[in-house]
Chain A
Amino acid sequence: MTTDHDAVARNLEAFRLAQIAADPKVLGALCADDLSYSHSSGFLEDKAAFIANATDGKTEFQSITYKDPTIKIVGPAAIVRFHWLAEMTTGGQKVTNSLHILMNWLKQGDDWKLLSRSATKL
């Protein structure tokens, strides 16, 4: 039997891989329709805008690490935090960033979906 903790950990890893792959189908399947996603600039996206921007090819991730993740299940919610370290190419430039991330996942039926995400520059 899969525990909620295991299920969230699996979806979190699938989300990380889908961000690197810039895969709109997988990202879409992992997010609730009401997704609210914000970047370290405070820029805020709904689900359609997040997926469009994450897969438009303007930025290519060489690597994304979700370091020291913590997952806390509270009823139908999961509080997920980690230290984001990524290398990417954007506008022909190699860029790295280091962020603190808060994600809130919500259990909808049997599935855990990403409901909100916020990023803080470190």
Chain B
Amino acid sequence: MTINRRDLALSTLAISSLAVSALALTTPALAASADEEAVAKKVEAFRLAQIAADPKALGALCWDDLSYSHSSGKVEDKATFIANATDGKSKFLSIAYQDPTIKVVGPAAIVRFHWVAEQEMAADGKKVPTNLHILMNWQKQGDEWKLLSRAATKL
């Protein structure tokens, strides 16, 4: 049996990725914390509620003190955000939260991602793509993580 250079490279790769996954399983510092996982779940629920334009789901994911701003700089409180996000004037065909990062710092979680979405305007059927950098700040009160503030930056 001959082992060529490519086989050798592949087996080295296999061994090193095994080593990395073993490390990830056994090293607490590399494992996602329970809070990070809880926030990740909420962020995904929020994304789906935005696509569904579901006022009940959005309301349950936001604190009453929510402060939400758009890429225009327009700021909304919770009632205004939910009203505008579910008024049917535009419909999201897709929203991706790309490359999300979640950093938990005590009762706060800093969430950032690259927003790539397409929406269809009800008035004229026009399709509008958006490409944004998003900062979200989630807060833990009791056992619950909810969205406290959000800002958007045009890319």
Contact = CB atoms under 8 A, between A and B. Distances in A.
A55 interface: no
Contacts of A104: 108, 110, 137, 148-149
Interface stretch (B30-38, B68-76, B84-92, B118-126): B68-76
Contacts, number: 88
Contact of B148 (A38, A74, A108, A120): A74
A102 B112 contact: no
Interface stretch (B2-10, B21-29, B99-107): B99-107
Contacts of B42: none
Interface string A37-68: 01011101000000000000000000000000
Choose among A41, A120, A121, A122 the residue with the greatest number of B CB atoms under 10 Å from its CB.
Answer: A120
B65 A118 contact: no
A11 interface: no
Chain A interface bracket (under 10, 10 to 19, 20 to 34, 35 or more) = 20 to 34
Contacts of A81: 67, 69, 75
Interface string A67-96: 000001011110101000000000000000
B107 A79 contact: no
A100 interface: yes
Contacts of A38: 112, 133, 135, 153
Contact of B106 (A40, A72, A106, A117): A106
Interface of A: 32, 34, 36, 38, 40-42, 44, 72, 74-77, 79, 81, 100, 102, 104, 106, 108, 115-122
15 contacts: A34-B103, A34-B110, A36-B103, A36-B112, A44-B133, A74-B139, A74-B148, A77-B107, A77-B137, A108-B106, A115-B105, A117-B135, A118-B153, A120-B71, A121-B154
